[in-house]
Amino acid sequence: MTTLMELQGAIEAGMRRGESFSAVEDEIIEPSSVSDEAKSALWLYAWSFVDWRAQRREAYAHIAQIAESPELRPAFT
């Protein structure tokens, strides 16, 4: 079984080689047998390698998508 620290090292190596965040997520994080909590920590670690401007664009896009969700629209009575 791969340890959390080994997965962290694999993520760092991949990101420093220029692999995309999506590739690291799909090839290292998701298939690992660690807990969901550990996967979240690894995801956050990988995300820290993404340029802050790209992080901000993604955050804005997700917020805009959620804001358009029917669950968030005011109910009219």
Domain boundaries, the chain: 4-72
Average pLDDT over residues 41-61: 96
pTM for this one? 0.78
DSSP 1: -
Backbone angles phi, psi at 74, to 5 degrees: -65, 140
Quick check: 71 and 65 in contact, CB under 8 A?
A: no
Q: Is residue 45 pLDDT above 90, yes or no? A: yes
Cα 70 to chain centroid, rounded = 25
Mark out the alpha helices in 1-77 (DSSP H runs). Answer: 4-16, 21-24, 36-47, 52-67
